[in-house]
Structure 1
Amino acid sequence: MRKLFAMMLLACITAGANAQEKKASEDKNKAVFTTIKANPITSIKDQNRSGTCWAYSTLSFLESEILKNTGKTYNLCEMFIANKDYMDRAIVTVRMHGDSQFSQGGSFEDVVTIMQNYGICPEEAMPAPGTLTGDSLANFDEFFGVMEPYVAAVAKSKAKKISPQWKKGLQGIIDAYLGACPEKFTYEGKEYTPKEFAASLGLNLDDYVSITSYTHHPFYTQFPIEIQDNWRWAQSYNVPMDELMKIIDNAINEGYTVAWGGDVTEDGFTRKGLGIAYDVKKARSMAGTDADRWFKLSATEKRSKLDSLGIDAPEIVPTQEMRQEAFDSWETTDDHGMHLYGIAKDQNGREYYMVKNSWGEYGDYKGTWYMTKNYVAYKTMNIMVNKNAIPKDIRKKLGI
């Protein structure tokens, strides 16, 4: 018994030592960031169970624009944008007899167009997200479960002529879940309509342009990116990949921020707060795993091994051709919108963009993600930026 106890004690000590060694190794690989440049942003929000990253990221970007211009902090209302946008999108879907996708997603252009056409209100002028259904945050599961079949029934109707009454019915559904958009409201002691409030923010909404980088259209021209959520067919300026990155760097270094749309389904976009463009072949070797064994691992096991490399994880160096191939093959998808506001570097000198997410204070960095420049170069679908933040030589090529 005493011998067995001694063996058990030795095993515990060994296990503890191994655990400490593993933790030390993980800590060594964990990034320690030094901020190079960080521009002001507003508070982190949580979109929760709603496909509204497009609204959260764009309004966050515009809130930073207001901060830069006036020094004032605003909390603009995502649900106002969603309320107006879903009706607009339903109308297009019905006009096209259902051949236009109706879904929760959207684009930067949706927010700008809604503000131009309908205005905006502060967050407190509408019910807080989720409260109308007894939740503390937005939850669109039931909402879209009701709304999607309604829109589909109208869009695919066998009637020779439909009445406009379906719009009143749909508006009732939208208002029931998101709240009705106010016609007037009081903010800081002054009464506004949504259009008057939008005008008071000091934004020139014509200043905001979308930039992308693909070779299936000529550079220095505009085209609508062929993705489902670009249902307004908004135009993006097309530039080479290196100029896309110059625009982002110049914007941040000049005190601007950038709305970012791209792919976050890659293994390198970790739920802990990093975005790294893994070179999987090299990373597999560093993780001590040969090809035969690697392919037998589950997706979770692979991700765990890759994540364990931390800042030492090797990256691909993206090219224009790689970007195009990933887009054409559906490897790069239009997943998520976020807000780039700064540049940082880790202890190895690798540079990252500081990115405000809309998942609440989630991850190791309380709602901020650090995406490497290689990741952004490879996985960006498009950005929205103030045209005044674009370097003059590139603006000249674009004619803006």
Structure 2
Amino acid sequence: MKYFLLFFGMLFSLILSAQEAYKFKTVTDLETTPVISQGVTGTCWSFSSISFLESEIIRLTGKKIDLSEMYQVRNTYPLKAENYIMRQGKAQFSEGGLAHDVMNSVAKNGLVPKEAFSGLSEGQENHNHAEMVAVLEAMLKTYIDNPGRRLSKNWRAAVEGVLDVYIGKNIQTFNFEGKQYTPQSFLVMTKIKPEDYVNLTSFTQAPFYSQFILNIPDNWSNGSFYNVPLDEMMATIDNALEKGFTVELDCDVSEKTFSSKDGVAVIPENAENNIKALQGIYPEKKITQQYRQDEFENYATTDDHLMHITGMLRDQNGTKYYKVKNSWGTDETKTAKGGFVYFSEAYMRLKAISVMVHKDALMEKTSKKLNL
């Protein structure tokens, strides 16, 4: 009898310690456009922000419009080149960017549908900017090296020429659903107002409820962010989703505990469970403001990807997760949830660099503290 009880106790202990597979229940699932792929490009900032704006257009007008990501990319590269040239190469020139780069472009250049500007050459089906970026960077470095001993006035035209070849010439007018538009009149039709969107972050190197320039590599345009406490940033995300607003996200996906293939992103309390936690539930680390700050300052948290938060879920233990739309396509060998990844609350608290929301998605107390 004693041995039987001992065996039963060991068996019960094993059952308790065994991994329990995830079972998710949807809490909020807001409407968005289909998942697509950014291809071989570093333009997640445009794909995610355009997806965000597509959901905003659905919210504002009820229309489902497939917007052009490449129109904003086409109009942002000359500004990147200007920044790089005028800083004599002592600045970031890469494919990366942030959500405010798209909103700045939209305010200046308007919006166009993808059918009017695909950014693809004839016969090309997928985006691939590897050669274009290499050509641009080599050309800009040549101008900076200044072989003519005086900066040529031709560099802007040269940049435009490269972009014309690889992405396409800018358009002034186009037809959509039987009506002619300019990019600016199309923007008006969508009811998107770029000035209505705000960027929030949460770091302690700047006072809370102030604006500051977040020093991260892809912030080449020196965009400002409103700084709020971590709990308030998370509450803002929740409030937005509950009120029917999706959220744009800049985050770190370099962790082994982020997996598009498994469709989850978590922060296990014990690092020994990092891989196992991609298939089932393990206790997660408590993420404080200080821990978040420490991980950012020691480069353990970096900004390397932008995505689109479209919903909220809970697992069988009641743990909160966020439904996050990716731009890596829907290949079932590479993604488990149709191109979405479920971020645990712990992962979001630690790895969300910043978020962008419509100002009406803010909590009233936050709006007052930010004077919005």
Shared fold, TM over 0.5: yes
| Distance in 2 separating the partners of 1:389 and 1:273 | 27
The residue type equivalent to 1:374 in the other structure is: A
* 2:109–2:184 CA contact under 8 A, matched in 1: yes
Offset of 1:159 from its aligned partner? 4.4
2:114 is equivalent to residue 123 of structure 1: yes
| Distance in 1 separating the partners of 2:276 and 2:281 | 12
SS in 2 for 1:355: strand
The residue type equivalent to 2:103 in the other structure is: V
2:362 is equivalent to residue 373 of structure 1: no
Counterpart of 2:94?
A: 103
| Distance in 2 separating the partners of 1:381 and 1:159 | 42
Q: Any gaps of 5 or more consecutive residues in structure 1?
A: 1-26, 288-302
Q: Give the structure-2-normalised TM-score.
A: 0.91
Does 87-96 or 310-319 show the bigger shift?
310-319
* 2:19–2:282 CA contact under 8 A, matched in 1: no
Offset of 1:347 from its aligned partner? 2.0
Counterpart of 1:172?
A: 161
Counterpart of 2:76?
A: 85
Identity %: 36
Alignment of 1:152-191 (within 5 A): 152-191=141-180
Offset of 1:177 from its aligned partner? 1.0
Q: Deviations over 1:322-341 (max 9, x none)?
A: 11111111110011000001
Alignment of 1:61-80 (within 5 A): 61-80=52-71
| Distance in 2 separating the partners of 1:378 and 1:161 | 47
Counterpart of 1:8?
A: none
Q: Deviations over 1:149-188 (max 9, x none)?
A: 1122123325443232111111111111111121111111
Return the index of the structure with the highest Cα Rg.
1
Counterpart of 1:35?
A: 26
SS in 1 for 2:291: helix
Q: Give the structure-1-normalised TM-score.
A: 0.85
Alignment of 1:236-251 (within 5 A): 236-251=225-240
Offset of 1:250 from its aligned partner? 0.2
Match of 1:343 among 304, 308, 312: 312
| Distance in 1 separating the partners of 2:160 and 2:20 | 52
| Distance in 2 separating the partners of 1:235 and 1:61 | 20
Q: How many residues align?
A: 353
Q: Deviations over 1:43-73 (max 9, x none)?
A: 1110011001000111111111111111001
The residue type equivalent to 2:117 in the other structure is: M
* 1:224–1:234 CA contact under 8 A, matched in 2: yes
Q: Deviations over 1:52-99 (max 9, x none)?
A: 100011111111111111100111111111111011110111111111
| Distance in 2 separating the partners of 1:156 and 1:397 | 48
Counterpart of 1:208?
A: 197
The residue type equivalent to 1:253 in the other structure is: E
| Distance in 1 separating the partners of 2:299 and 2:142 | 30
Counterpart of 1:393?
A: 365
Q: Deviations over 1:289-346 (max 9, x none)?
A: xxxxxxxxxxxxxx64453xx3322211101011111111111001100000110112
Q: Deviations over 1:4-36 (max 9, x none)?
A: xxxxxxxxxxxxxxxxxxxxxxx9743221110
| Distance in 1 separating the partners of 2:269 and 2:145 | 46
Does 165-174 or 209-218 show the bigger shift?
165-174
Match of 1:219 among 183, 208, 224: 208
The residue type equivalent to 1:235 in the other structure is: S
Q: Deviations over 1:114-144 (max 9, x none)?
A: 1111112110112454x44x54211111111
Change (3 A) 1:244 1:145: same
* 2:75–2:105 CA contact under 8 A, matched in 1: yes
| Distance in 1 separating the partners of 2:292 and 2:275 | 26
* 2:209–2:369 CA contact under 8 A, matched in 1: yes
More helix by share: 1
Q: Any gaps of 5 or more consecutive residues in structure 2?
A: 1-17
